Structure 1
Amino acid sequence: MVYHLLRFNVKNSLILISLNLLLTFVLTGSDIEPKKVKVVVVALFERGDVTADDPGEFQLWVERYPLSERIPFPHGNRDLYWNDQDGVLGMVTGIGTAKAAASITAVALDPRFDFSQSYWLLAGIAGFDPADASLASVCWVDWVIDGDLSHTIDIREAPKGWSTGRFPFRAKSPYQQPRPANEGSYFKLNESLTNWAFARTKEIQLMDTEAIAIRRRRFTETPMGQKPPFVLRGSYLAAMNFWHGAIENEWANNWVEYWTDGKGEFVASAMEGSGMMIALKFLEQANLVDCSRVMMLRAASNYTMQWPGGTAIESKSGEVMGGYSAFIPSIENAYTVGSPVVREIVKNWDTYSSTLPQVK
């Protein structure tokens, strides 16, 4: 009885929130123009308040960009923050694919905003493959690959010769060809826009520390993982399972290669990207957003696997929220690389409102 009452109350609360937003639009739509959003900055988590404490992914945007105006967002994860002069909106989706999809949908359907010409920038932290990049490096994303939509059997029960117990949804074996239809398994971001963002930021000097220099020296078999932080392009595997270790890292590389026909290179592992993209794809069908204006960057807070001679659990044991080996440098570098791109779009809005930027 209590369960059904709770379920009824939650359902009706959501209905009331939706009706309230609709009523607000009907009553005020003729009098109040929706805010024309030029850029949406999408962070995935924040640790406490959005100012004056230990930062998460969002705080530097609020304090430094700045995003000074708080806008209540009761039907989302956290309140929104707005820079009226620049037309830049910041949001925090919450951790995970489901929260990302729900939050993006909620904000895009909010009648207070017009996202028809908005650029979207996801800027967050991630685990990086040491074969491709080092701690605190920043990756502009070319492909987003979903790591959840699949079948799984324990490898100990798998047929002889299988390298993994994971295989594509609607397939009968790992890496089956031809591939099943794309039901949200992969998203290719606008290559021209990604290349433009990379070209504008590839020479930026990134934060480095002695602590992460010491850690990266352990990765003696991967030269790219030993370099000081740098900006690169690469592919992003989005999955709800926070995996770690050399075996899972090999699967991630193979999974990305499979879904991109070898055109993508696995670099970053995090959660929310595929949820954000499926939401935006649905919203685009209603002409509410333009998916050709989506950019994503991820900064390396940790590696996705252990160093030579180490174990997966040794490597993973020190990687907890706020304690990742490159947590603060990765947050700093995500803002350092992302903010010039946002400012450039705003500065040249007369052009970029209708014509997407590209490398000259």
Structure 2
Amino acid sequence: MVNLKSAWFVPLLAAAVLAYPAQEAKRFEKRDESFSTVPSQRFAIFAPKVVIISMFVSEQDVWLEPYCLKNNISIPGLSPLYPYIHCDSDYEVCQVTVGEGGFNAAATTAALVLNPLFDFTKTFFMIAGIAGINPYEGTIGSATFARFARFAVEALGEYPTSLYGTEVFELNADSDTAKIYRALYNYAPANQPSKAVKCDAAASEVWFTGSDLAESFGNFTALMTNGMGHYCATANEDNATLGALLRAALAKLVDFGRIVVMRTASNFDRSPPSTANDAVYGLLYANVGAFDTSLENLVLAGSPFVNDVIKNWEKYNDGRYAPKNYIGDIFGTLGGTPDFGPYGVAN
């Protein structure tokens, strides 16, 4: 161990410490100036046409083989559990797994869109994950495509953060167990075969189930979207991912009009009537039989969109399919006037 009392460098160290505050005060003296940086894709190597966003490994794996996503790219800021962006041989279709929970989703998405290796200015993003579903709006195995994404919060005065355009496709995958479980519901569309539906998602950091909660979220969705939103799909990460993409869009790093949110239903958000609306049964004991089906349907419902973008890139890229509705957050950050919330045209 060094004896500081006898060390020759102590006087020099003391002088440096005493002088440092004065130097720092002079260097950072207050001025009436502000600084900003301008993002650039000047040195970008990759410009994907489609990026598929998954939340966990099972959602990720169903895409790897069908699209031969064998090229792995590692960049700073990705989830330690999912450290790679997977791309095809032409780097036209890529897939990233952001991790579960809003914090992970926002952090990974921000790291991705800010990385200078990528140019996402013309990329289509498709958030593709499994979810619970409102049995009055759809059934297990169905694919939902949302216009509104709302974050479910304890404070009922908080408004949804994003609105975006959608595409709809048909699907076929099913299972015998799922058919049996659907029959426990004595009303449609819960007891009908799965299909693609257009309805809206509610994001929550807490897994919820039961008629009372589900009905409350449905009412809140309608309230916060001026009656235009129809809640059907539960989610966790969507609004966090969209929040990061919106900030990137504000910096002109992505096009917020090129985002699709798709959720396939792995379970119902409430128990069947035959169980006396027992929320515990639906959460812990129900043999729904739709987990594998919902994963398969991610590809069945999402592939037509991915394939069409790649095949008809010039048509998609000339603006003819640009959304006509307002897109963005409640504040109109990207321009335009929201048609929902306290600042909307309806209010």
Shorter-chain TM range is 0.7 to 0.9
Counterparts of 1:84 and 1:145 in 2: how far apart (Å)? 36
Is 1:316 matched up with 2:283? yes
Quick check: 1:65–1:339 contact (8 Å CA) kept in 2?
no
**1:296 corresponds to which of 258, 261, 266:** 261
Structure 1 residue 353, shift from structure 2 partner: 2.1
TM-score w.r.t. the length of structure 1 is: 0.74
Quick check: 2:172–2:194 contact (8 Å CA) kept in 1?
yes
Match of 1:75 in 2: 77
Match of 1:355 in 2: 319
Quick check: 1:43–1:57 contact (8 Å CA) kept in 2?
yes
Write the deviation string for residues 184-220 of structure 1: whole angstroms up to 9, x where unpaired. x231112xxx1xx21xx2xx34111110000010011
**1:263 corresponds to which of 203, 215, 228:** 228
Counterparts of 2:118 and 2:288 in 1: how far apart (Å)? 36
Structure 1 residue 63, shift from structure 2 partner: 1.0
Matches within 5 A, 1:16-95: 33-46=44-57, 56-77=58-79, 78=82, 79-85=84-90, 87-95=92-100
Q: Once superposed, which parts of structure 1, at least 4 consecutive aligned residues long, lie more than 4 Å away?
A: none
Q: Which has the larger radius of gyration?
A: 2
Quick check: 1:128–1:304 contact (8 Å CA) kept in 2?
yes
Counterparts of 1:189 and 1:283 in 2: how far apart (Å)? 15
Is 1:117 matched up with 2:106? no
SS in 2 for 1:255: helix
Counterparts of 2:285 and 2:107 in 1: how far apart (Å)? 31
Counterparts of 2:250 and 2:288 in 1: how far apart (Å)? 39
Quick check: 1:186–1:259 contact (8 Å CA) kept in 2?
no
Structure 1 residue 85, shift from structure 2 partner: 2.1
Structure 1 residue 354, shift from structure 2 partner: 3.1
Is 1:189 matched up with 2:164? yes
Counterparts of 2:54 and 2:288 in 1: how far apart (Å)? 17
Q: Which amino acid aligns with 1:270?
A: A
Matches within 5 A, 1:143-162: 143-148=148-153, 150-151=154-155
SS in 2 for 1:226: coil
Q: Which amino acid aligns with 2:241?
A: M
Pair 1:318–1:257, CA change in 2 (3 A): same
SS in 1 for 2:261: strand
Pair 1:358–1:278, CA change in 2 (3 A): closer
Quick check: 2:178–2:288 contact (8 Å CA) kept in 1?
no
Structure 1 residue 141, shift from structure 2 partner: 1.0
Number of matched pairs: 280
Structure 1 stretch displaced more, 67-76 or 234-243: 67-76
Structure 1 residue 324, shift from structure 2 partner: 5.8
Matches within 5 A, 1:144-293: 144-148=149-153, 150-151=154-155, 167-169=156-158, 182=159, 185-190=160-165, 194=166, 197-198=167-168, 201=169, 204-220=170-186, 222-293=187-258
**1:325 corresponds to which of 277, 289, 292:** 289
SS in 1 for 2:147: strand
Match of 2:10 in 1: none
Counterparts of 1:84 and 1:238 in 2: how far apart (Å)? 34
Structure 1 residue 325, shift from structure 2 partner: 3.0
SS in 2 for 1:134: coil
Q: Which amino acid aligns with 1:131?
A: Y
Q: Which amino acid aligns with 2:149?
A: V
Match of 1:97 in 2: 102
Pair 1:96–1:356, CA change in 2 (3 A): farther
SS in 2 for 1:290: coil
Q: Which amino acid aligns with 1:118?
A: T
TM-score w.r.t. the length of structure 2 is: 0.77
Structure 1 residue 318, shift from structure 2 partner: 3.4
Quick check: 2:136–2:190 contact (8 Å CA) kept in 1?
yes
Structure 1 residue 66, shift from structure 2 partner: 2.3
Q: Which amino acid aligns with 2:291?
A: F
Is 1:136 matched up with 2:141? yes
Pair 1:229–1:347, CA change in 2 (3 A): same
Match of 1:156 in 2: none
Structure 1 residue 133, shift from structure 2 partner: 0.7
Write the deviation string for residues 23-70 of structure 1: whole angstroms up to 9, x where unpaired. xx99xx87x642111111001111xxxxxxxxx101111111221211
Counterparts of 1:236 and 1:356 in 2: how far apart (Å)? 26
SS in 2 for 1:296: strand
Write the deviation string for residues 283-314 of structure 1: whole angstroms up to 9, x where unpaired. 11110011111001100000000110311101
Quick check: 2:185–2:274 contact (8 Å CA) kept in 1?
no
Counterparts of 1:189 and 1:96 in 2: how far apart (Å)? 21
Identity %: 25
Match of 1:164 in 2: none
CA RMSD, 1 decimal: 2.0
- Structure 2 unaligned regions, length at least 5: 1-38, 324-347
